[in-house]
């Protein structure tokens, strides 16, 4: 069996295509930055179930930015030998070790076209599609025809057995999805940013006078003005307030404490000075 939907993933959003009788049809798309992303996603999922009441299965279209397209000399001639030749050529071509890569190739000559993707990319795409409720069963790509002839196939998902009837096998498509249809499905919503700058021009200068009073309110309690003017009637209250934090910041209060106690405790003040001098 072949999946009846294709979930196109991109950096801007997700698009859903349906396999109709006359070919692939666009169902809808959701921008990742949409404020009502959850509601739009639910509506897209309901639209899929309406088109396929027998069950929704999707093939994930991996973003082109996550795929390496290259040409490799692999004469084969057997398929297993050709696969080993491609794997050897991929050694050191990507930041990943070859066992951490999945690749597909096309061509019958000595030089073949190869599409490569990291396994961790497939795992992240599968988790996202599965959490969104689109029942992913396989991984594909939508390359430019000059990069790869047909549709690259990266295998089935780990959750495919749970989404398929017992004993069902997934068939791959030979033709790739139409690029124009995919680009249209993944197009970001343009009118979204337009209403935001409209209310923003005039309110900006109005809060300016409201900010100035707090600035003035912060200037009176500056400690630099109260400290150098020690009146004779309030030294005890001020010294008591300073002595409390002396344990936390000893080097700062030690010098002003004795200066503010002319009569209450002259002798201890002299002792503390002698101790600090010693």
* pLDDT tens by residue, 238-257: 433 334 343 443 443 444 44
pLDDT in tens, 6-46: 999 998 899 999 999 899 999 999 999 999 999 999 999 99
pLDDT cut 90: percent of the chain above it: 60
pLDDT band at 184 (very low <50, low <70, confident <90, very high): low
pLDDT at residue 197 greater than cutoff 60: no
Give ranges for CATH 3.30.420 in the chain: 5-65+120-185
pLDDT in tens, 255-265: 444 444 444 44
pLDDT of residue 166: 86
Q: What is the DSSP string of the chain?
A: ---SEEEEE-SSEEEEEEEETTEEEEEEEEETT-TTHHHHHHHHHHHHHHH-TT---EEEE--GGG-EEEEEE---SSHHHHHHHHHHHHTTTSSS-GGGEEEEEE-SSSEEEEEEEEHHHHHHHHHHHHHTT--EEEEE----TTT-SS--EEEE-TTHHHHS-TT--PPPPSSPPPHHHHHHHTPPPSSTTSTTTTTSTTTTTTTHHHHHHHHHHHSTT-HHHHTT---SSSHHHHHHHHHGGGGTSTTTTTTHHHHT-SSS-HHHHHHHHHHHH-
pLDDT at residue 180 greater than cutoff 60: yes
> Which CATH number does 5-65+120-185 carry?
3.30.420
pLDDT of residue 225: 45
pLDDT band at 224 (very low <50, low <70, confident <90, very high): very low
Which of 153-167, 177-191, 209-223 is modeled with the greatest confidence? 153-167
pLDDT in tens, 89-132: 999 999 999 999 999 999 989 999 999 999 999 999 999 999 99
pLDDT in tens, 49-87: 999 999 999 999 999 999 999 999 999 999 999 999 999
Stretch 147-165: mean pLDDT, rounded?
95
Stretch 174-200: mean pLDDT, rounded?
60
pLDDT at residue 172 greater than cutoff 60: yes
pLDDT of residue 183: 79
pTM for this predicted structure: 0.66
């Amino acid at each position: 069996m072949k999946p009846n939907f294709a979930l196109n993933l991109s950096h801007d959003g997700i698009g859903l295509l349906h396999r109709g009788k006359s070919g692939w049809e666009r169902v809808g798309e959701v921008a990742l930055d949409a404020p009502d992303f959850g509601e739009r996603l639910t509506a897209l999922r309901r639209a899929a179930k309406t088109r396929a009441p027998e069950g929704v299965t999707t093939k994930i279209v991996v973003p082109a930015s996550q795929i390496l397209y290259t040409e490799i000399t692999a004469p084969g001639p057997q398929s297993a030998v050709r696969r080993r030749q491609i794997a050897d050529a991929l050694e050191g071509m990507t930041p990943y070790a070859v066992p951490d890569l999945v690749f597909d190739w096309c061509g019958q000559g000595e030089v073949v076209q190869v599409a490569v993707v990291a396994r961790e990319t497939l795992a992240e795409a599968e988790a996202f599609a599965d959490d969104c409720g689109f029942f992913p069963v396989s991984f594909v790509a939508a390359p430019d025809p000059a990069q790869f002839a047909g549709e690259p196939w990266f295998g089935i998902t780990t959750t495919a057995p749970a989404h398929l009837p017992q004993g069902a096998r997934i068939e791959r498509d030979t033709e790739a999805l139409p690029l124009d249809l995919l680009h249209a499905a993944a197009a970001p919503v343009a009118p979204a940013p337009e209403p935001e700058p409209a209310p923003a021009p005039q309110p900006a200068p109005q809060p300016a006078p409201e900010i100035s009073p707090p600035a003035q309110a912060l200037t009176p309690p500056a400690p630099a003005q109260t400290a150098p003017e020690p009146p004779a009637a309030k030294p005890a209250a001020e010294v008591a307030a300073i002595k409390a934090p002396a344990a936390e910041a000893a080097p700062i209060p030690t010098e002003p404490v004795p200066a503010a106690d002319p009569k209450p405790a002259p002798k201890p003040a002299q002792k503390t000075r002698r101790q600090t001098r010693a």
